[in-house]
Chains A and B, each alone.
Chain A
Amino acid sequence: MRQRAKNPTTWPIAGLALGCLVAFGAGEARALTAQEILNYKGPDRQQMLVKGARKEGKLVIYSSMIINQMLRPLTEAFGKKYPFLEVKYWRGSSGKTFRKVTAEMRANALAADVIEGSGITGRIVKAKIAQPFYSPELKAYPKIIRDPNRVWATTRLRYIGGAYNTKLVAKAEVPQTMEDLLNPKWKGKIAWRAGTSSSGQMIVITTLLLAWGDERTETFLKALAKQNVVPLHMSNRGVVDRVIEGEYWLAIGASAHHPVISARKGAPVAPMLLEPVPTLNATISILKGVPRPHAAMLMVDYLLSVEGQKLLQKQGYLPARPGVPPAEDLRQIVPSLVGKKEFFVSPKALLTTTKKSKKLAKKYFR
């Protein structure tokens, strides 16, 4: 009810007005289109964005970042920087976010200005629903995590590992490889997230398929299925919480930084990395028909800037920007720093392989 929906009658009128202006040669007086705003490179870019955002008055971000750990601190810091903006967030897995925005676009009521997550990238590229944008911050990022078509930009990294309950599992017992999970003592004690693409069940299977090939992966999954790994329908943060409670001994396919963040508060949990360690990049995008392009661009700039990346660092998330290293206690989960083999799963590989992973998951784990 309070959603700021576009008045459907304003568009034709605006179009007509624009047409008249162009016809009378008054082109330079017209307002910029969303496409132009997103790709503006003039020296007055910042002033233009702030001026426009002030009129828009609001920013809505959809993200898969955990609310209390990152999403709320992010929106609070952003709101402090631009106090004229009312900053709203909605948290959902990448799959849920994708379904939500496509539904909104169908209903002609897109509410999100920016969307952020690690499984969302491939989906929006395939659906062709995002628009290219330019940010001066982009050039600081390495090529491997930059999109040549500029419809997404990397905001943070995720190392996928697991977690173990330190009261239930001694450090010496902690599995080091995927095969270690097949030890009969873990039967019924491992949990992972069901569904989705970029965590839990799916990311484990996808990474193995990419790293090991079909045959070895299927042999392994057949054996793993006998371990009665428990599928949970919640975020992988939730799965780690069940490990903290002691409901399960181990979590796999979870973001390795979640147990570290909990350990900061004294929770009996620690991260574990199993080779090959899947690495994912979370990205930010702006969709076609974005309701508030100026505010959206300010958010993109902020999240990619040193200031935004330092906030990630402080909250225990993994910055993607070179020059902003992960926090001290997170170094234990960076594969290259602890001598573990890492495996980068690109957005494209993630999307194309997930189909096969889903089939295998259905075959062995449901």
Chain B
Amino acid sequence: MTAGPHKAESTYGAAMAAAGRSLWRKFGVSPVVGALILVLVILIFPPLIFLVKTSLYTTTFTGAFDKFTFGFYGELVNDPLFITSLRNTAVYAMGSATVAILLGALQAWIVERTNTPLRKYVFLVAIISLGIPSVLYTISFLLLLGKTGPVNQLLDFFFATGRDGINVYSMWGMIVIEGIDFAPLAFLLLSSVFRSTDASFEEAAMMSGAGVLRTFRKVTMKLALPGIYALLILIFIRAFESFETPAFVGRPGGIYVLTTNIFENIQVDEPPNFGQAGAFAIALLAIVWVLLYWYNQLSRRAERFQTITGKGYRPRVMDLGPWRYVTAGVLVVLFFVIIGFPLGIVLYASFQPFYEGVTLSGFSTMTLENYYQVFKPGSFRDAIVNTVILGVSTASVVGPFTLLCAWLAVRRYRGAWLLDQLATLPLVFPSIVMSVAFLQVFLESPIPLYGTLLSIIIASSVRYLPYGMRYSYAGVLQIHKELEEAAALAGATQPKTFLRVVAPLVAPALMTCWIFVFLVSTKAVSIPILLSGPDSQVIAVTMFDLWENGQTVELAAVGVSWAVFMTVLSTLFYILARKYGLKFE
């Protein structure tokens, strides 16, 4: 600024006034936005506050808050357990993210960039696997890779390793299982990256004499790299906060990560060590926060590598010639690894009177008893009904709610930026942390919510708000404002415009959002595990308990029944998606 001192003074005054006005404008919000902000604040802040409070109090014999202390944070620094579990978490998350991305990228490339037969079905497989609870998935791999599993039997047959061929209860076991579990998600997200790469770069490489492999390495991969990095961090975060695999695979091998430590503080220690769990949870939350910040930075930078430009963009598949049968073979193998074998062994176990590994004699002792137990009236049936209610309610709350928030934010209604920020905030809560936090809220709540299905629906809705925001935001962005302006000119009120113009236009995005939230909320165990009571059992928790109680064969029957149900549902979703062009990535 080149003005003199007097001028500066008056500019200063004007600037202050302008700042005051904009501040007022910033906080002067429309009633709808205000109401939504209030709802979000009520939903998100009590758990956060209780989480902090939890980490600052010791616990009495019966689990109530006792004395104020900073001791749990002091322990964090000195506790070798915290340091080891932090290191374990990092190794495990990095490893499984790498495995997931290798598998996902391979599939995505084959599906999107080559003319391999069968490639279209990979989407169906991915969507089916999204609906299989991680608990079931993890357990099926324990059956496959355990001492008596078919893998060790084969190793023994060929190399006479006895029963000690491989020990799945180890770090590599955790990495492989979690990596395979996340591979379908990696595939879905990466297929969009590969799809949006301009094929002309690859054609140029091929014309210059590079082979398929070289082109893949030097061009396709290089172009996809920023997207892959961002995805690597995303899956790293998801694995960082994952619970099922560390609980079932890590703990028997003595390998603890942050989430299993939090779980044990509450579910195994006596009296429950809420304080330490709280301190661990806050530490986990802080780490995820930093990682997410990094992820956002990276994915913003990834946009610079966008190759879809104004000039004729044609995604084109490569003709692999006879090699396409090899890639088809790869897809078939991956199908078996990701879905075929895990579901196969669970199916086998579900017909057994007791589980004793896969044996020939097992085929002659098959029984339907386990299925009878699942389908007769009682707890299993209740759990299935509860799970469907949970999924439908959560998806139906999150979908429309985030759609409204996203629309207000995209259209820059006053104060709506805060809606966007608030609705994305739960992303930093790992599920188990969210569960701990809501547990404290419901325990202290004057309204008796603890142990009810409603409490699980509330916690799940908050947990999956960010996912809903992501889909809704993308959906709303695609609609140009002029349609709404036309509606307004024709005399429609704002609510009417939203319902009659915006909502129908974003219906496909809303539908995708609904499906996704339905799938993830019915699949997760870490939210309901600390919240469910005898009247609010859900499938994932039922399976968790069945495994702990040693009812492997009934667990298998529940798992198969649920997987069949979800497969039918997923196939319907898939058909819907193809018909209406929904995109899951």
Contacts and interface: CB of A to CB of B under 8 A. Distances in A.
A244 B61 contact: no
A235 B251 CA distance: 14
Interface string B534-546: 1111000000010
A246 B448 contact: no
Contacts of A99: 63, 266-267, 270-272
A2 B535 contact: yes
B430 to A, nearest CB: 20
A137 to B, nearest CB: 25
A103 B443 contact: yes
Q: By CB atoms of chain A within 10 A, which of B61, B266, B354, B454 has the most?
A: B354
B452 A239 contact: no
Interface string A69-109: 00010000000000000001111100110111011111111
A129 interface: yes
Contacts of B254: 231, 366
Given A104-B451, A126-B61, A234 B355 contact: no
- Size category of the B interface is 35 or more
A150 interface: no
Contacts of B549: 66-67, 91, 234-235, 237-238
Nearest to A265: B353
Contact of A244 (B267, B355, B450): B355
B454 A1 contact: yes
Nearest to A105: B62
A240 B268 CA distance: 20
Contact of A266 (B148, B353, B446): B353
A66 B62 contact: no
B552 interface: yes
A203 interface: no
A6 interface: yes
B195 interface: no
A107 B442 contact: yes
Contacts of B536: 1-3
A230 interface: yes
B383 to A, nearest CB: 12
A332 interface: no
Interface of A: 1-3, 5-6, 8, 60, 62, 66-68, 72, 88-92, 95-96, 98-100, 102-109, 111-112, 126-127, 129, 194-197, 230-235, 237-242, 244-247, 262, 265-268, 366
Contacts of B268: 95, 194-196, 233
Contacts of A96: 267
Nearest to A358: B270
Contacts of B148: 245-247
Contact of A111 (B267, B379, B534, B551): B534
Contacts of B270: 95, 98-99, 197
A5 B450 CA distance: 10
Interface in B438-481: 439, 442-446, 448-454, 457
B302 to A, nearest CB: 40
Given A89-B534, A107-B450, A67 B551 contact: yes
Contacts of B266: 99
A232 B163 contact: no
A68 B548 contact: no
Q: Which residue among A233, A239, A268 has the maximum number of chain B CB atoms within 10 Å of its CB?
A: A233
**7 nearest A-B pairs in the assembled complex, by CB-CB distance:** A238-B550, A107-B450, A5-B448, A237-B550, A241-B550, A109-B448, A90-B534
Contacts of B379: 72, 88-89
A6 B448 CA distance: 8
A72 B549 CA distance: 13
Given A111-B535, A234-B547, A267-B354, 17 more contacts: A1-B454, A88-B379, A89-B379, A90-B533, A95-B268, A96-B267, A99-B63, A99-B272, A106-B64, A106-B444, A107-B448, A233-B548, A241-B550, A244-B354, A244-B355, A247-B148, A266-B353
